[in-house]
Every structure is written in C-alpha cells, then in structure tokens.
A and B are shown apart, each in its own frame.
Chain A
C-alpha cells in the first residue's frame, strides 16, 4: 500500500493505516527529536507526542511533503518538551546508554568493511558533532539538523519551522559558523581523514 493511500485511510480515521506510517517514519522523527533534545527520554516523549498529535491533525494535511509535515510536528513537540524540561528539570535515575546503544547498533554490526580503528574514529566524530550540536541554541540546532542532517531544502525547512526563507538562510549560516568553530576545538581529537583543513594549507 503506497503512502498516499495510507494517508487517506488515516484521514478517514483508520488507526492501523496511520500506524504503518508511524513505522515508516519513526526513525526519522526520533532522530530529529533526539538531535534536538540531546537525550533519549525527552526524545522518546517528544516523538510519542508528535505521532499522537499527527494522528489528531492528519485531516488538516492537504498534500505536499508528508515528511516535512511530520518534521514540523515533531519540531514543535520538541520545543514544547524543551520548555517543559526547562521549567521542571528531570534527572534520569538510569545511566545514559548511548555507548551501549552504539555497540549494539545493527548498523555497526553490519559494516564488515570497517576496521575497529575506523569505527572508533567514526564514533569520535559523531560524539564531537553531537556535543557541538548541543552547544547551539535550540533554534540554530533545529535548522542545522533539518538541513544538514535530515537533508531538507530551504523551502521545506521554512515550512517546518514556520518562518520565512530569509530567516532560514540567516539562522543556518550562523549555526554553521558556530558548528565550525566548535568542531575546530575538537580538531586534535578528530582522526586525520576527518580533520578540518587548516587555513594555512590554502596560503
């Protein structure tokens, strides 16, 4: 069954059809939520809220990019969750499981061409990027994740954050500049192939 049929069925109140869309998009939505929130529990809460909200609002979906429409809902859900956590900070009783997740990742197990050293390098880069992302403000973070990680174009990003195209250009350029500065501070830690090219090389 194609996506349009599932969307139409969902608009007619078919929860099973909507849950198929959930299964198809949950990684995308969770990724967006995790990159914006920076930790798993908040990301899960925001993702669940986003899908519930999406089902309730799906009759208002008038075509176009369903992916962008979903990302808009999860982004708004993250803003809500972010504000809620800011008012009532929550400390997890369980330790962070990012490391464990990484080593249990099927993505890691499947890539047989990668040596352990390369995998470690890749892990360090990811950690550095995640760290730098969390140092951005939530407005900058959301736009960097949407355009540079999720691969949306400027129009779609403008649609998702509900701001004009000019705002997207401006926020993205400043966010990238901050990311670049942050990653430079990790320069020595990053493996050589990924190390940012020094300015002197161009002189």
Chain B
C-alpha cells in the first residue's frame, strides 16, 4: 500500500494533516501530493484513521482520585493528639531537669559541700572570737564565789579600818578589792547571765554552740524530708509524662 511512499513523505503527510508544517514545507508537500496519487490516497486513509481515533470518548474515572493528607504527606496539625504529645513531652523534660538540679543539690549538701569555704571560715572565726571575749571556763563561777567571799571579808575589814580614827581619808584601792569588783561582774547563774546580757556571758555547758555546723546546714538538714518528697514527685512526673507521650506517639502512628 505504502511501498511507493518514503518514511520522510509519510512523516510530512501526517504533519500536513495536523497543520504542523510551515508555509514553505506545506507548499512543497502539496506539489508532491499533486504529483503522487498514492500519496493522496494515503492522505485520505490517514484522515479516516484519525477521525476514528478522535471519536474515541473520554473514559469516565471509575472512582474519585482525591488524595488524603496521608497520601499527600501532610501531617494533620492542631489535633488533640499532637497537643497532648507536645505538652507531655515538655512536662517530662522539665521534670527531669528539675530532678537533676534538686538531686545534685541534695547530694552536695549531704557531702557538706554547700556552704562556701570563705563564709564558713568567717562564721567560725566570729563565734570563736565571741567565746574568747566573754566566756570563762565553767568552773570559774565556783572559784569566783569563794574569792568573792574572801574579798568581801577583806573589804569589810578595810572598811572598819577606814572608819578608825587617824587614818587618811582616801586609801588607795588594794589589789584584792580590784579583783573582787571585777569578779562581782561575773554572773553566777544562767539567769544572771540572761539578765546581764548575752554579750557578757555565754554558758557553753548549758547551751553549747556547735561551730562545726553552721545555721544554713541546719536549715537544709531540716528540709531533707521535703527534698526527698520533691525528688520522688519529680521522678513520678518525669516517668509518667514520658511514658504517656510515647504511648500517644505510637497510637498516632
């Protein structure tokens, strides 16, 4: 049928039918077409074939092809799952950080590392100075009482001598009188000491001051049960929130 039509002519024939030749190519092909009846017959057959093909209807899609967010690779945003997951994860992380901080602080406190060295030293020096300035040994009040008795007797005797005739009006204070006056200032009991003010007497035997345990350490020791409770609570929150977040994540997948 097409033995006398070259592949090049056949290509031009197809393009001519579709109006895809330029003006010059079109004129040239029409000249060839007039010279070759077989080419004209082929043109007509090709026109028929194309007509049949163009009559083919569009096929209706058997179903809708709308795509879902999952197919499109879009993660649903703002869902309750997402919000819960984010919240629980944040709570777990914050609780873990707090637990580490509290536990580390507690551990350092137990090993005596919380008060800083310079502050500790200053506190100890201050307390030692106060003791040195005010507190005599505990046995001193007993001796002082005996000495005071002796001194009072001597003072009474001196007073008698002073009132005796022939004696000068001012007699210089004896060594014993000076000692006696000084000792009078020393309180004999705790009540005396309290009345006289803490600055003058510190009863180390009755109310000992432990200079090895500063006040801050005592306070932290007082808080130990509370710290333990906080640590347990933080562990529970961190583990619970973390586990819930993992469960939600798995459920979403």
Contacts and interface: CB of A to CB of B under 8 A. Distances in A.
Interface of A: 13, 15, 18-19, 22-23, 26-31, 34-35, 40, 44, 47-48, 51-52, 55-56, 101, 105-107, 125-126, 129, 144, 147-149, 151, 153-154, 169-170, 172-174, 176-177, 179-180, 183, 194, 196-197, 199, 202
A168 B45 CA distance: 20
Interface string B29-43: 000000001001100
B49 A149 contact: no
Contacts of A173: 7, 10-11, 13-15
Interface of B: 1-2, 7, 10-11, 13-15, 18, 20, 37, 40-41, 44-46, 48-50, 52-67, 69, 71-74
Nearest to A183: B49
A50 to B, nearest CB: 8
A125 B66 contact: no
B41 A125 contact: no
Contacts of A13: 74
Contact of B72 (A30, A52, A101, A144): A52
A30 B1 contact: no
Contacts of B7: 173-174
A183 B48 CA distance: 11
B15 A169 contact: yes
B200 to A, nearest CB: 85
Contacts of B57: 107, 126
Given A28-B58, A30-B59, A179 B53 contact: yes
A48 B67 CA distance: 8
Contacts of A151: 54
Contact of B53 (A27, A30, A106, A149): A149
B55 A125 contact: yes
Given A27-B60, A180-B49, A197-B48, A56 B73 contact: yes
Contacts of A196: 45, 48-49
Given A52-B71, A154-B18, A169 B53 contact: no
B46 to A, nearest CB: 6
Contacts, number: 120
Contacts of A183: 49, 52
Contact of A19 (B1, B44, B66): B66
Contact of A129 (B18, B56, B65, B73): B56
A32 to B, nearest CB: 9
A44 B63 CA distance: 9
A27 B57 CA distance: 10
B61 A27 contact: yes
A199 B45 CA distance: 8
Given A47-B61, A180-B49, A52 B74 contact: no
Given A34-B59, A179-B53, A202-B40, 5 more contacts: A28-B58, A56-B72, A148-B54, A154-B15, A177-B2
B1 A169 contact: no
Contacts of B65: 22, 26, 29-30, 44, 47-48, 51
A98 to B, nearest CB: 10
29 contacts: A18-B72, A23-B64, A27-B58, A30-B60, A30-B65, A34-B59, A35-B56, A40-B62, A44-B63, A47-B65, A48-B65, A48-B67, A51-B65, A56-B73, A107-B57, A125-B55, A126-B57, A129-B56, A148-B53, A169-B14, A173-B13, A173-B15, A176-B14, A176-B49, A180-B46, A199-B45, A202-B37, A202-B41, A202-B44
A23 B245 CA distance: 39
Contacts of A34: 59
B67 A55 contact: yes
Contacts of B46: 176, 180
Nearest to A13: B74
Contacts of B37: 202
Ranked nearest first, the 5 interchain pairs of A and B with the lowest CB-CB distance are A173-B14, A148-B53, A30-B61, A19-B66, A173-B11
Contact of A106 (B10, B58, B60): B60
A197 B51 CA distance: 13
